[in-house]
Amino acid sequence: MATWTNIANTSLEPGSPARSVDAFALRDNPIAIAEGAAGAPRIAGQQGPAVQTDGLFDGAVTNNKLQTPIAGTNHLIMRLQEAELGTINTAYFPVGLNNRGNAAAHLGVTCLVAGTITAFLQHRRTGSGTAFVRILKNGALIQEWSSTSTTFTTRQANISVAVGDVIIIQWRVSADTASSETRQLRIYSNNPNFAVA
């Protein structure tokens, strides 16, 4: 890592003798800024070493890694499903058969960055009976809700995740005379990042 060196203005004034120590500082200081060296000025929003990005993250990359997701709904980071989708299945799908998706009643994501994400959805029942929806992390139940309302109800859960964790949302009904419907299945974070895929 390059070292940041303060250069006195008097060393760079016209007529001042050229010093090799100043020449080395002029060469090394831009590198020290980019690497986030101690004492070096920071690039706006920089928390650690600057990294070159391809523009996809718009400042979400710090310390050569993606920002940690934080619980909240400031930034929508993944849309799993926006349209209404219903099922008349009376049992949840086996997690091992459909890791990330089954169009009938099972959608999920894999976590790319450790932190806390917010899973969000809207849920309702049509017909008679009870509609259920649940969120799993690596096959373990995080939260389950039931509803007999025919009006969409917002459900959300903050989930602490590690790299590689799989978050799955599933829905079902108590009887085949009903349908469990979901929409707006989303993953949020209070940091703008690419934390799930």
Q: Which helix (H) or strand (E) holds 32?
A: helix 20-35
pLDDT one-digit tens code per residue, 74-89 = 989 888 889 888 888 8
Determine contact, residues 59/42, Cβ cutoff 8 Å.
Answer: no
| Sheet strands (E) in 82-177 | 85-87, 101-102, 106-110, 115-127, 131-137, 140-147, 153-161, 166-173
The model's confidence at residue 54, banded by pLDDT at 50, 70 and 90, is: very low
Closest by Cα among 77, 83, 57, 61 to 159: 77
Query: Is residue 147 in a domain?
Result: yes
The model's confidence at residue 53, banded by pLDDT at 50, 70 and 90, is: very low
Distance separating alpha carbons of residues 42 and 34, to the nearest angstrom: 8
SS3 state of residue 34: helix
Query: Is residue 58 in a domain?
Result: no
CA atoms within 13 A on the CB side of 112: 13
Closest by Cα among 134, 124, 112 to 179: 124
Same domain, 93 and 156: yes
Same domain, 27 and 121: no
Same domain, 46 and 73: no
Closest by Cα among 29, 22, 23, 20 to 8: 22
Same domain, 165 and 100: yes
For residue 167, the enclosing domain spans 68-189
Same domain, 154 and 117: yes
Determine contact, residues 77/71, Cβ cutoff 8 Å.
Answer: no
Size of the chain in residues = 197
Query: Is residue 57 in a domain?
Result: no
Query: Is residue 197 in a domain?
Result: no
Query: How many domains are contained in the chain?
Result: 2
Same domain, 30 and 81: no
Helix%, strand%, coil% for the chain, nearest 5: 10, 40, 50
Structure confidence at residue 55 (pLDDT): 42
The fraction of the chain above a pLDDT of 90, given in percent, is: 30
Same domain, 88 and 141: yes
Structure confidence at residue 41 (pLDDT): 78
pLDDT one-digit tens code per residue, 107-152 = 888 888 899 999 999 999 998 889 999 999 999 999 999 999 999 9
Query: Is residue 77 in a domain?
Result: yes
